[in-house]
Every structure is written in structure tokens, then in C-alpha cells.
């Protein structure tokens, strides 16, 4: 099992930048292309716990789909998690997981510090 996992979207410049940082730091990461391999509810809940954030903090709130689904008005965490399961495009990226901790790799400077921790 690899030490680092990244939830990656190859079309996202920040996600590609995160991949470059992992490579430059000699990390052999497990790459999860989460738009193709949508995470299940348990995976999202686990990552939320690792991040120590509420579901909305893991969401791309400026995404048009977020607005279309009226998620700003949603106050139930379970409903927000379900929306991410059904529409992984709503998940913020990239997410880097190391052991029992995770970060959202924005800004990218956070990634190197996280790798050294």
C-alpha cells in the first residue's frame, strides 16, 4: 500500500500542480481520479474526519452545479455528503491523504509542509 493518496482531477491545474509536487518530493502516490471513480459515502465521511472540516468546506461552492442544486440552502450534512457522492465534481481538489491525515492542496504551498509532517 502506498503512503500517499491523492484525489486527482487531471483537468484541474491545481491538481496537476499537486501531482508535480508529489513527484518532485519522490512520493509514489496512489492516484484516485475521483471523477471517474466516485468516492462512496464512507470514503467522503472518512476524508472529512481526516480534514477536520464540515461537508460544505469540502465542496466547490462556486461550481455552477452547486448553485443549480440549491446546496447553499441545504443545512443537513448528510444531504451535502450525498450530493458529493452523486456529483463528485462538487468535491474540492486536490485532496492529499497521508496516514490518518489529509489536506486540501490549495494553496499548493501547503502540500510540501504536509508531506514533511
Beta strands in 1-117 (DSSP E): 4-8, 30-33, 95-98, 101-104
Q: Is 12 labeled as catalytic in the residue annotation?
A: yes
Contacts of residue 87, Cβ cutoff 8 Å, sequence gap at least 6: 65, 69
Residue whose grid cell is 480534514: 51
Contacts of residue 52, Cβ cutoff 8 Å, sequence gap at least 6: none
Cell of 61: 461552492
Opening angle at CA 59, ends 70 and 97, nearest 5? 160
Are the C-beta atoms of residues 96 and 3 closer than 8 Å to each other? no
Give the active site residue among 12, 33, 38, 53: 12
Catalytic residue positions? 12
Amino acid at each position: 500500500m502506498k503512503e500517499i493518496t491523492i484525489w486527482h482531477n487531471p483537468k484541474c491545474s491545481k491538481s496537476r500542480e499537486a501531482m508535480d509536487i508529489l513527484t518532485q518530493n519522490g512520493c509514489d502516490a496512489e492516484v484516485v481520479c475521483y471523477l471517474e471513480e466516485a468516492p462512496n459515502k464512507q470514503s467522503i465521511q472518512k476524508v472529512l474526519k481526516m480534514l477536520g472540516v464540515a461537508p460544505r468546506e469540502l465542496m466547490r461552492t462556486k461550481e455552477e452545479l452547486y448553485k443549480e442544486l440549491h446546496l447553499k440552502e441545504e443545512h443537513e450534512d448528510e444531504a451535502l455528503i450525498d450530493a458529493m457522492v452523486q456529483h463528485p465534481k462538487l468535491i474540492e481538489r486536490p485532496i492529499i491523504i497521508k496516514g490518518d491525515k489529509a489536506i486540501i492542496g490549495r494553496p499548493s504551498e501547503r502540500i510540501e509542509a504536509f508531506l514533511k509532517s
